[in-house]
Amino acid sequence: MKKLQVHIDRRPLPLLFFLEYKNAFIFVAIASLFLWVLSLETPTGLSLEGWKGIAIFILCSLLWMTQALPLAITGLLAIVLIPSLQVLPTKASYALFGNDAVFFILGAFIIGVAVKSSGLSRRLTYYCFKSFGTTIKRLVITVFFIAAFLSFWMPEHVVAAMLYPIVLGVAEILKLPRSYSKAGKALFLALAWGCIIGGIATFLGGARNPLAISLLDEFAGEQFGFAEWLQASFPLVTILLLVTIPFLLTLLKNETIDCRSALLELDKQIKQVGILSFREVAVAIIVVLTIVSWIVFSKPLGLVNITLLSASALFIFGLLKWDEAQEGINWGLLLMYGGAISLGSAIEQTGAAEWMITRFVLDLSLTPFLTLAVISFLAIFITEGISNAAVVAFLLPIGFPLAKHLGIDPKIMTLIVALPSGLGFMLPSGTPPNAISFSSGYLKVRDMARPGLILNFLSWLFLLATAYFYWPLIGMKV
């Protein structure tokens, strides 16, 4: 009979109490700061409404950064506080929640759910593994490129969640030990990094991109077309895909693993899924038509209208059930975006953003390009600790007035925040794909942090090079 082992936590009781109620303590501290800011005298040159808007901005930014409250609840708090403190009228504040970006994200989630639930994405993954994963190096590169390509057209966290059990199954078939397998580390880093890089390429890879586009429309009255975004991001995505491969292959140095067992198992999986179903073919047709429509008709019809029409078609033709859609849609993210858009509009309409940026520019005397460098650097490293959508919500309301003051194209400001905010390679908390891959047990924090730090810096440098040399060629001058 085994003896019952009792582990006694000998840490001080106050520390245990703090850890148990850490979020409550953080919230009280941030709320106290908020009330203190409200009690201060309104600065010269700023309206009372603008000062209250700044106080709400500080409150929500800190809550998003610390996650003392769920992101969605902070978004709702912003919507409530703006009219409650008379920063904007009630109707104006709540109307902003109906921004078209929220509905674009909703439609994109629905399309992603259909691709996943129909089995189409899994089938494509199996065939790609079978065709290209004949050696361990090819297997890792295949995981990397499948994750990147699928993240062009589906939210990156959906792709990571979908591919995770497949990659884990392959690792288990190959009998890769979790404690020290270099091949295991490479497989799950390939999964995470592929999703991250692919996720910045189009509107669909991450909901932060539609949020950024919506804020662009709100502040500058300008819009990004689907093809225009892809054209701007594609060089950076291509460079990062090529640069990341050596990091993965370095892990596989002197690794000799027989992949035949994995290929045999994939053969079984392919036989189990059978021939293409009507549902898979129909979903594929709708997705292709949607992408073509985004590219060709985005300006006359609007991205949101095309997306919602495609999402509706999935239900009209019986290709998706509402229960499936409900499970796959991140409703909390939609609430967070509604709050972020309302907050950004409040900062802009009250003149608070213009006031903050004027002081920032006068104090630091930054050139336009150096300004972009600083903002992109903040975006790429802040996103390691907070949601990338929160980074967009935090930086763009400040960035757009700054762009106007310095004569920077607002589209460039949109890209210089949205692209790096999705490139968190270092920590499990940086992006959902990192967290999902980390949960496999094949990775330790240092396995991500060391190469991830290098990739973060390289991504930042490549982004600046793209902005300086390439974007002017397509009509966006710094």
Q: What share of the chain is helix, strand, coil (3-state, %, to 5)?
A: 75, 0, 25
pLDDT at position 309: 92
Q: How far is Cα 276 from Cα 63, in angstroms, rounded to an integer?
A: 47
Q: What are phi and psi of 2, to 5 degrees?
A: -75, 140
Q: How far is Cα 451 from Cα 459, in angstroms, rounded to an integer?
A: 12
Per-residue pLDDT tens over the stretch 412-456: 999 999 999 888 888 776 677 887 788 778 888 788 888 888 999
pLDDT at position 263: 67
B/e letters for 25-48, b = 16+ CB within 10 Å, e = fewer, are ebbeebeeebeebeeeeeeeebee
CB 54 within 8 A of CB 34: no
Of 259, 248, 263, 284, the residue nearest 124 (C-alpha): 284
What the block records as the tokens of 443 is 């990775």
Radius of gyration of the chain (CA): 24
Crossing angle of the two packed helices 136-153 and 226-251, in degrees rounded to 10: 160
Q: How far is Cα 271 from Cα 280, in angstroms, rounded to an integer?
A: 16
Half-sphere exposure of 59 (CA within 13 A, CB side): 28
The pTM score is 0.70
Q: Containing H/E element for 327?
A: helix 322-328
Q: Low-confidence residues of the chain, pLDDT below 70? A: 1-11, 13, 15-19, 65, 99, 101, 125, 128-134, 255-256, 258-263, 265-266, 270, 298, 333, 337, 353-354, 357-365, 385-387, 429-430, 478
pLDDT at position 7: 62
289 Cβ neighbours under 8 A, 6+ residues apart: 310
What the block records as the tokens of 28 is 């009280």
| Continuous H helices in 21-155 | 22-39, 48-66, 71-84, 90-95, 100-117, 120-132, 136-153
Q: How far is Cα 197 from Cα 210, in angstroms, rounded to an integer?
A: 17
pLDDT at position 113: 81
Q: Where are the domains of the chain?
A: 18-474
Q: How far is Cα 150 from Cα 164, in angstroms, rounded to an integer?
A: 13
pLDDT at position 305: 87
Per-residue pLDDT tens over the stretch 147-182: 998 888 777 877 887 777 778 777 777 777 877 788
5 Cβ neighbours under 8 A, 6+ residues apart: none
What the block records as the tokens of 429 is 């908390």
200 Cβ neighbours under 8 A, 6+ residues apart: 206, 209, 233, 236, 237, 418, 419, 422, 423
What the block records as the tokens of 122 is 């899994």
- Indicate the burial class of 73 (C-beta count within 10 angstroms; 0-12, 13-18, 19 or more): middle
CB 245 within 8 A of CB 144: yes
pLDDT at position 336: 73
